[in-house]
Structure 1
C-alpha cells in the first residue's frame, strides 16, 4: 500500500501536534502540582474527586452554620446576662421598698427606677442578632416578639426554636424562645407581669400591702371596682367560722356581694350591708372579722380592697402572691430562673463547640483526601514528560530526514 506525500505530511503533523499537546499538559500539571482534572484523563479518579469535593462543600456549609449558631448563642447569653443584672437590681429595690423605714417619697423614687428597668428589660427581650433577627422570637424573627400595651407586656412570638443544620443528621438550636425565657411556667408566671405587680404594690398608700385584714366588730371594705363587671372571690372569717364567697361586681353594683356574704351568716356570724357614704361594704359581727384570699377576674392590679377597721386604721389587701414579702421571693425565683436559662444556653454553646471540632476534623481528613486525588505524582510526571519529549524529538528528526530526500535519491 502506497502512502501519498500529502497524507504522510498530515499524519505526521497531527501526531506531532498531539505529542506537543501532551507535553504542554504535562508541563502545566508539573508547574501547578495538580493532576489533570478532566474526566477523560482518569474517569475513576475524577469520580472520586467529584464526590470528595461535594463533601467538602457540605462540610463548609456546616461549618458556616456552626459559626452562625455560635454567634447567635453568644449574643443571647450576653443579653441574658444583662437580664439577670436587671432582675437583681429590681430585687434589691424590692427589699428597700419593703423596709418599714421606707417613706412614700422613697417608694416613688424606687418606682421611677423600676419603670426604667422595665423599659430596659423590654429592649433586651426584643434584642436582635447581627442579621437583624429577633433573638427570642421563636420561629418569628422579623418583628418584635414583645409588645407593651394597656394589658402590660405580652409575648407575640411562638414557642419554637430556630435551628441550623450542622451535620448530615444533626440540627442545632440557635437560641431559646421568649416564651421559655420570660415566662416561668404556669406557677411562676410572667417576668414582666411580676415587675408590674411590684410597681402596683409601690403605688399603694400602705407601706405593706397584706393578704388578709382583720378587725373587731366591724370592717369597711372598698373594692377596686371598674365599669366592667368582674368575678370576685374572698374568704371571710367570723366568730362562728369561715366561708369563701363569690359574686359579680362593678362600679356602683355591690348588691351581689352583700347577698353572697349574708348567705353565709349562719356559718361565719358576719353580716354585710352597703356603706351609704362611699358605696362600699360594711361587715359586722359579734367578734373578730378577717377577710383574706381576695381575687378578681379580670385582675385590675394594685390594691384590690382597701379595708378600714373600727379604729380608722387602713389596710390594703392584695392577692397572697402580691404581698411585698411574696414579691421579694418571686423576684428572687425569677433571677434564679434567668440563671437557669443561661445554663441551657451554655449547654447549647458547648454542643456547638463539640460539633465544630468534629466538623473541623472531618474537613481536615477530607482536605487530605482531595489533596491525594488532586496532587500530582511529580517523579512519574517528569518521567512521562521526558518520554514524550524524546518521542517528539525522534519523530521530528525522522520526519526531517525523510522530507529532505528527493526522487533522485530513491532512483540512485
Structure 2
C-alpha cells in the first residue's frame, strides 16, 4: 500500500493532536487531583459516582436536620434549666413567707418578686428558636405556646404534637416536647396541675395573707361564722365536723345571702350534730352543736374545685360564743385550703420535680441526636472515601503516563521531521 506525502502528513498531525489532548488531560488530572468520570468512557464508574453523590447530598440534609434538632433541644434545655431555678426561688419565697416575723412590707416584697417570677416563667414557656418557631407549642410552631386570658390565667394555645425531623432513611428525631406535658401536667398530691396555676395560687396565698390556717375550731359548742363572699355566685365546699361525725357541705353563695349555707349545714345536722341559724341584723351564721361539742371546719375550696384555681377573697371567720351569748376568743380566719402556703410549698416542690423529669427527657433526646450525628459523620467519611476512589487521580501513575506520552510525542516529532526533510534527490543519492 502506497502512502502519499499529504496523507502521511495528515495522519501524523492527527496523531500529534491526539497526543496533545492526552497530555493536556493528564496535566489537568495532575494539577487538580481529580479524575473526570464520563459515562461514555466508564459507565460503571459514572453510575457508582452518581449514586454516591446522591447519598452524600442526602447525608448533608440529615446532618442539617440533626444540627437543627440539637439547636432546638439545647435551647429547650436552657429554658427548662431557667424554669427549674425559678421554681427553686419560688420555693425559697414560700418558706420565707411562712415566718411569723414578717412585716407587711416583707409580704408585699415577696409577693412582688413572686409575680415577677411568674412573668419570667411565662416568657420561658414561650421561648422560640433561631427560626422564630415556638419550642413548646407542638406542631403549631408559628403560634405562641401559652397565652394569658382576660381573667389573668394562663392557658396552653398549642397542641400535643411533637415536632420531629428525619435524621436517617428510617429514623426521625423529636426536637422538643409539647408545652402541655412540660408546663401543664405537674403531678401533685391533688392531681395534675399547671405550673402557672401553682404560681398563681402562691401569689393568691401571699395576697390573702398565706399564714392563715386551712382549719378552724370552736370548743365552746357554739360559734359565730362571718362570711366574706363575692357579688357573683361562687361554689363553697368544706368539711364540717361535730359531736356525731363529719359531712361535706356544699353551697353556692352570693354576698349578703348566706341562706344556702345555713340550709346545707342543717341538711347534714343528723350526721354532724351541728345546726345553723341566721343571726339577726348582719351577714352572720350562728352554729350550735349537741352537748356543747367542738365544731371544726376544714378543707374549704371555692370555685369549680379540682385543678381549677380557687377564687381569691372568699373566706370566713369563726369566733367562739361563750355561755353568756357573747362572742369571745380569737377570730379564726378560714379560707380555701389550696391557698395555704403549706400546700403551695408541696405543689411547688412537685412542679420542680416534674420539670426536672422533663429536662431529663430533653437530655435523652439530645443524646440521641448526638448519636445520630456520630453515625452520620462515619457514613459521610465512608462516602467521601468511595467518591475519592472514583474521582481522585493516582498522581504517580498519571505522572508516569504523562512522561511516556511526552516521550512518545517527542520521538514522533523527530521521526516526522526526519522523514519530511527527505526529497527525491535524497533517494537518488
Regarding TM over 0.5, the answer is yes
Residue matched to 2:319: 309
SS of 2:143's equivalent? coil
Matches within 5 A, 1:104-183: 104-149=104-149, 150-183=151-184
Question: Structure 1's 141 and 314: CA in aligned 2 closer, same or farther, altered over 3 A?
Answer: farther
Distance in 2, Cα, partners of 1:47 & 1:238? 91
Confirm or deny that 1:213 pairs with 2:216: yes
Per the alignment, residue 28 of structure 1 pairs with 28
Cα distance in 1 between the residues matched to 2:385 and 2:281 = 92
Could you tell me which residue of structure 1 aligns to residue 48 of structure 2?
A: 48
In 2, distance between residues paired with 1:199 and 1:181?
A: 21
Counterpart Cα distance in 2 of 1:185 and 1:308: 33
Where in structure 2 are the equivalents of 1:154-303 lying within 5 Å?
Answer: 154-183=155-184, 184-185=186-187, 187-205=191-209, 208-215=211-218, 216-227=221-232, 229-286=233-290, 287=292, 288-298=294-304, 299-303=309-313
Is the 8 Å Cα contact of residues 246 and 260 (structure 1) preserved in structure 2? yes
Question: Counterpart in 2 of 1:80?
Answer: 80
Question: Where do 5+ consecutive residues of structure 1 fail to align?
Answer: none
Shift in Å, 1:174: 1.8
Higher mean displacement: 255-264 or 111-120? 255-264
User: CA 1:245/1:173 → structure 2, altered by over 3 Å: closer, same or farther?
Assistant: same
Task: Give secondary structure in 1 for the equivalent of 2:177.
Answer: coil
Give, in whole Å, the separation in 2 of the partners of 1:278 and 1:26.
Answer: 110
Would the alpha carbon gap of residues 25 and 275 (structure 1) be closer, same or farther in structure 2, given more than 3 Å must change?
farther
> Offset at 1:93?
1.0
Q: Is the 1:138–1:178 Cα contact (8 Å) retained in structure 2?
A: yes
Where structure 2 has 5 or more consecutive residues not aligned to the other structure, the ranges are 321-327
Asked if 1 retains the 8 angstrom alpha-carbon contact of 2:303 and 2:311, the reply is no
SS in structure 2 of the partner of residue 203 of structure 1: helix
RMSD: 2.9
Normalised to the residue count of structure 2, the TM-score between the two structures is 0.84
Q: Residue 189 of structure 1: CA displacement?
A: 0.9
Map of 1:344-355 to 2, 5 A cutoff?
A: 344-355=361-372
Q: Are residues 1:322 and 2:327 paired?
A: no
Instruction: Encode CA deviations 1:296-336: one digit per residue, 9 max, x unaligned.
Output: 33354335322221326333334444322121122122222
Query: Residues 5 and 275 from structure 1, CA distance in 2 versus in 1: closer, same or farther, beyond 3 angstroms?
Result: farther
For 1:192, what is the secondary structure of its paired residue? helix
What's the CA shift string for 1:152-190, capped at 9, x where partnerless? 122212222222222222222222222222121481411
Shift of 1:271: 2.1
Between 1:366-375 and 1:332-341, the stretch displaced more is 332-341
Indicate conservation of the 8 Å contact 2:302/2:336, yes or no.
no
Stretch moving more, 193-202 or 376-385: 376-385
TM-score for the superposition, normalised by structure 1: 0.88
Question: Secondary structure at 2:208's aligned position in 1?
Answer: coil
CA distance in 1, matches of 2:216, 2:148: 34
1:12 Cα offset (Å) = 5.3
Shift of 1:85: 1.5
CA distance in 2: counterparts of 1:120 and 1:220, whole angstroms: 40
The answer as to whether partners of 2:310 and 2:336 remain within 8 angstroms in 1 is: no
- Paired position in structure 2 for 1:343: 360
Measured against aligned partners, the alpha-carbon deviations of 1:212-252 in whole angstroms (never above 9, x if no partner) come to: 2222312314153342x343322222222222233333344
- Which whole-Å CA distance do the structure 2 matches of 1:226 and 1:364 have between them? 73
User: Partners of 2:101 and 2:164 in 1: how far apart?
Assistant: 51
Q: Secondary structure at the match of 1:154?
A: strand
String of CA shifts for 1:367-388, please: whole Å, max 9, x gaps. 2221111111233323443444
Contact 1:204-1:316 at 8 Å conserved across structures? no
